[in-house]
């Protein structure tokens, strides 16, 4: 990553270090679990996205990962799927996957989002949701 890119990402995160972003993530997760909501833009998935961008994950892929973390939580996906979606390790494995195998990350994350955590799919002809449960 060039110095220009690094400076741009630091500006994106308001000058916060990765350690600051992890601490904000932890605090927002605690708030989410205790209150059931956070201030807009300060949910754990928001801080994960900023952290991913700081580490060099492209914007579009970081946005997809953010959406995945959000859906896993908001739709109460199975615990094993929530683990895959970053909830057990503050999203570290997701960041590593996005950096090492971005095409694989897109494929896996889209599949999970498109099937609402492997719960079903939309019928291409009727547009109706078909539950697999």
The pTM of this model reads 0.76
| Unique residue bearing structure tokens 């492997």 | 118
* Strand residue runs (E) in 1-133: 120-122, 129-131
What residues have CB less than 8 Å from 59, skipping those under 6 apart?
A: 53
pLDDT in tens, the chain (133 residues): 444 444 444 445 566 777 777 777 777 777 777 777 777 888 889 989 999 999 999 999 999 999 999 999 999 999 999 999 998 898 999 999 999 999 999 999 999 999 989 888 788 888 887 887 7
Give the pLDDT of residue 92. Answer: 94
What residues have CB less than 8 Å from 13, skipping those under 6 apart?
A: 21, 50, 51, 53, 54
Residue 95: name the closest of 127, 65, 133 by CA: 65
Give the pLDDT of residue 14. Answer: 61
Residue 11: name the closest of 46, 50, 42 by CA: 50
């Amino acid at each position: 990553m060039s110095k220009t890119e690094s400076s741009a990402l630091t500006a994106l995160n308001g000058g916060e270090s990765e350690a600051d972003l992890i601490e904000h993530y932890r605090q927002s997760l605690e708030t989410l679990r205790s209150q059931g909501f956070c201030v807009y833009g300060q949910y754990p998935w928001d801080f994960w996205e900023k952290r991913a961008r700081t580490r060099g994950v492209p914007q579009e892929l970081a946005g997809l990962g953010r959406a995945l973390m959000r859906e896993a939580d908001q739709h109460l996906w199975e615990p094993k799927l929530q683990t895959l979606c970053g909830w057990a390790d503050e999203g570290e494995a997701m960041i590593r996957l996005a950096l090492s195998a971005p095409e694989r990350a897109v494929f896996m994350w889209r599949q999970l989002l498109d099937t609402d955590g492997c719960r079903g799919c939309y019928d291409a002809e009727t547009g109706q949701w078909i539950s697999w449960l």
